[in-house]
Chains A and B, each alone.
Chain A
């Protein structure tokens, strides 16, 4: 199988690539940081003796996305599964003070993710097979005052994926929405919380398994489905007064 990973320099992306490489799949790692992506590629190559390619990818350069997919298909032979992993948490306060910061959060997490997913959809629909795994976030399930730019972008991307899933179902292409909770990344490192934080390695395993099984929406860790169910159930007149 040939796998494309977009935003390949995060630890989650690195672990997804390793999970597939373990099975002998070929992977193309695409990211902005060329040096870092080469480091990850050599690591996976030596550990799993499989074909690992690297590519330059810029989420905000949407005009380059259709061409990027054409090049990726040429390099890999085909794209059977694509993971859209990149994202930028941004800084809520900074975004409130300076809209250009907010705009970057929207451009990367929404516009960029939608643009590359759309290019993938075009390719896979025509081919009549494939799977797109979009990494979204539980932050997209309800707008919160503490990070609503990121939440809005992720929530928008979740809705986009939902619609795309319907469109591609008839052509045999699967779309999975992954709503991640707390994963042990720089976003959560050092956070004081009683909520268990999942390792990137376990997250990657869960993503690959769920995608293989054709799951539509994956909450990971699983209990976030219930946490978000409860959070969504709080009446708005109370929710708006909560420091959350």
Chain B
């Protein structure tokens, strides 16, 4: 076993930053020995660091990097079941399996996540209304417990442990491997339809008219107010038939090293003015009410991945993504109230996304619930940003909604418990699975999900 190295780690939002002893596991043996010989320190597994806040951060403990446990263990080309180690990334998955006619069952907005991270966040994507979230497509999850014991779990076997692990932010144990069922696709292209909507009512009409499209997501202008509140552009897609060629994104033609947020690292670049300009231009980019095109899966599913380390464009202070879901409501009172509060605050979001979730939801701390979800990026301009979020938390909790923990860096424990009444039952299962209280994170400590290690 090699000695850990002291490093400063941050999430994708670059806030907060913590120091941790970091060990990169080269084999499963490294993980088992790290867990069994690390009696007095807390431990946390970390994937590719795409959680925005502090879900993959551990101050003072031992952080285990999973990126080299990225091996494929088996693939059944008859059924699409893929067995792989938890550090296997969706980037590798798409690169290897799309040319063979397979695609992940669910993808989040970036392909630079591991399958282990996808389960620990129970990620959702543009097809949530049809396919649910990641954990719906997974079986035989292999979990390393703090005792060094390895157990299998899924919806049939050890279901309590499985549903505590899905969306459980890595706090039930270390996910070693899993099986995930890929979906057959005919081509690497997406037939896409874009529809402009002028307000929230129209968004819901357009969304309802497209329920049979497997993928949908909308850009929303988080700055628009009054009559334009909730305006944006709705994108629906489906895998194109065999032989279709999709347009690649413009930036993908350039060498990746050149298209990097590192060159634009500044605290000043993304501000209220540039946010206004960006959102105004983006709204008018879509000239006609409706348009159709065929694009590659990359710009459709992972538009921001085209810019390496785009998070650097927010500068050293970092940024937040505020993502919430509120239950269905014909009047959309909460949604209107939230969007109004945001657009009238001095703290302006840069990029916003809105989507209607399907009816499927999972137990435990998994985020998706029926209703409408909105995600908005805010530069970290200090106290005013945090105060806005605190006000939004109340509105979300009052409406029976919740915020997404994988995006969160600052939610308070009281608001969390209102949003996730499941927390108590979740913690009971977790405490039973990890009686040593070994698996911890800054998020877990902040939200009262883990206690102190027993002395």
- A and B form one complex: yes
Binding site for B on A (CB under 8 A): 9-11, 33, 35-36, 39-40, 42-43, 46-47, 186-187, 189-191
> Which B residues touch A46, using CB under 8 A?
72, 74-75, 96
Give the complex CA separation of A42 and B22 in angstroms: 28
With both beta carbons as reference points, the residue of chain A lying nearest to B68 in the complex is identified as A11
Give the complex CA separation of A11 and B5 in angstroms: 19
Whether the pair A11, B72 counts as a contact (CB closer than 8 A) is: no
- B290 CB-CB contact with A under 8 Å: no
| Best-surrounded residue of B22, B72, B74, B75 (most CB of chain A within 10 A) | B72
Stretch from B25-33, B151-159, B240-248 that touches the partner: B25-33
Whether the pair B5, A43 counts as a contact (CB closer than 8 A) is: no
Chain B nearest CB: distance from A224 CB in Å? 22
Whether the pair B85, A39 counts as a contact (CB closer than 8 A) is: yes
Chain A nearest CB: distance from B94 CB in Å? 13
Whether the pair B74, A42 counts as a contact (CB closer than 8 A) is: yes
Known: A35-B28, A36-B29, A47-B96. 18 other contacts (CB 8 A): A10-B26, A11-B26, A11-B68, A33-B27, A36-B27, A40-B71, A42-B72, A42-B74, A43-B71, A43-B72, A43-B73, A46-B72, A46-B74, A46-B75, A46-B96, A189-B5, A190-B6, A191-B5
- List residues 50-90 of chain B with CB under 8 A from any CB of chain A: 68, 71-75, 85
Whether the pair A190, B7 counts as a contact (CB closer than 8 A) is: yes
Assuming A39-B85, A47-B96, is B26 touching A186 (CB within 8 A)?
Answer: yes
Tell me which of B24, B28, B71, B74 contacts A189 (CB under 8 A).
B24
Chain A nearest CB: distance from B70 CB in Å? 8
Give the complex CA separation of A43 and B87 in angstroms: 13
Give the complex CA separation of A190 and B22 in angstroms: 8
Give the complex CA separation of A25 and B73 in angstroms: 20
Give the complex CA separation of A189 and B26 in angstroms: 11
Whether the pair B71, A39 counts as a contact (CB closer than 8 A) is: yes
> Which A residues touch B26, using CB under 8 A?
10-11, 186
Chain A nearest CB: distance from B53 CB in Å? 25
Give the complex CA separation of A59 and B27 in angstroms: 20
18 contacts between A and B (CB under 8 A): A10-B26, A11-B26, A11-B68, A33-B29, A36-B27, A40-B71, A42-B72, A42-B73, A43-B71, A43-B72, A43-B73, A46-B72, A47-B96, A186-B2, A186-B26, A189-B5, A189-B24, A190-B22
> Which A residues touch B72, using CB under 8 A?
42-43, 46-47
Chain B nearest CB: distance from A101 CB in Å? 15
Chain A nearest CB: distance from B305 CB in Å? 20
- B4 CB-CB contact with A under 8 Å: yes
Q: How large is the interface on B (under 10, 10 to 19, 20 to 34, 35 or more residues)?
A: 20 to 34
Tell me which of A9, A33, A39 contacts B73 (CB under 8 A).
A39
Give the complex CA separation of A186 and B85 in angstroms: 19
3 closest Cβ pairs, A-B complex: A190-B5, A43-B71, A46-B72
Chain A nearest CB: distance from B43 CB in Å? 17
> Which A residues touch B68, using CB under 8 A?
11
The digit string for B270-293, where 1 denotes a CB below 8 A from any CB of A, is: 000000000000000000000000
Chain A nearest CB: distance from B65 CB in Å? 9
Give the complex CA separation of A190 and B3 in angstroms: 9
Chain B nearest CB: distance from A158 CB in Å? 25
> Which A residues touch B24, using CB under 8 A?
186, 189
Whether the pair B27, A9 counts as a contact (CB closer than 8 A) is: yes
Chain B nearest CB: distance from A27 CB in Å? 15
Whether the pair A189, B2 counts as a contact (CB closer than 8 A) is: yes
> Which A residues touch B27, using CB under 8 A?
9, 33, 36, 39
> Which B residues touch A9, using CB under 8 A?
27
With both beta carbons as reference points, the residue of chain A lying nearest to B177 in the complex is identified as A39
Chain B nearest CB: distance from A103 CB in Å? 21
With both beta carbons as reference points, the residue of chain B lying nearest to A9 in the complex is identified as B27
Give the complex CA separation of A47 and B100 in angstroms: 11
Give the complex CA separation of A33 and B75 in angstroms: 23
Give the complex CA separation of A54 and B6 in angstroms: 36
Give the complex CA separation of A186 and B3 in angstroms: 9
Chain B nearest CB: distance from A185 CB in Å? 8
> Which B residues touch A190, using CB under 8 A?
3-7, 22
> Which A residues touch B74, using CB under 8 A?
42, 46
> Which A residues touch B96, using CB under 8 A?
46-47
Chain B nearest CB: distance from A42 CB in Å? 5
Give the complex CA separation of A52 and B6 in angstroms: 38
- List residues 390-404 of chain B with CB under 8 A from any CB of chain A: none
> Which A residues touch B7, using CB under 8 A?
190
Give the complex CA separation of A40 and B7 in angstroms: 29
> Which B residues touch A191, using CB under 8 A?
5
Give the complex CA separation of A42 and B76 in angstroms: 12
Give the complex CA separation of A36 and B4 in angstroms: 22
> Which A residues touch B4, using CB under 8 A?
190
